[in-house]
Amino acid sequence: MRVRLNPQGKDLEVDDVRRVGDLLGRLGILPGTVLVIRGDRLLTEDAALAPSDEIELRSVVSGG
């Protein structure tokens, strides 16, 4: 599936992940530090993913 990381604007192809939790684990991202977005909906860690999915991982961290 295609995964876009924001705000970096970086695109990745990730294969063989069935659930959101697996995807985050594969990318080394802690749950709670990104919104997982598919279309106009948010996904929880147990949500199932399909190879045709386009997922946005949007960082929630801000500061200075």
Partner 1 sequence: MKCTRCREPAEVKLRSHNSAFCRECFLLFFRRRVERAIEHQEMFRRDDRILVAVSGGKDSLALWDVLADAGYRTVGFHLALGIGGYSDRSRERSESFARSRGLELRVTSLADENLAIPTVVGATRRPACSACGTVKRHYFDAAALEAGCNVVATGHNLDDEAARLLGNVLHWQVEHLARQRPVIEPRHEKFARKVKPLYLTSEFETATFAFLRGIDYVVEECPNAVGATQLAHKAVLDGLENASPGTKLAFVGEFVTRGSAGFQPTERPDAERSCSSCGMPSWGETCGFCSLRALVDRKTGRAATVADDPAEDRRP
Q: Which residues bind partner 1 (CB under 8 A)?
A: 6-7, 30-33, 35, 37, 41-47, 58-64
Q: Which is nearer to partner 1, 1 or 37 (CB)?
A: 37
Taking the C-alpha atoms of residue 53 and residue 63, their distance in angstroms, rounded to an integer, is 31
CB of 42 to partner 1, least distance (A): 4
CB of 15 to partner 1, least distance (A): 24
Is the Cβ–Cβ distance between 42 and 58 less than 8 Å? no
Q: CA dist 45 to 18, 55, 56, Å?
A: 11, 13, 14
Q: Which is nearer to partner 1, 30 or 50 (CB)?
A: 30
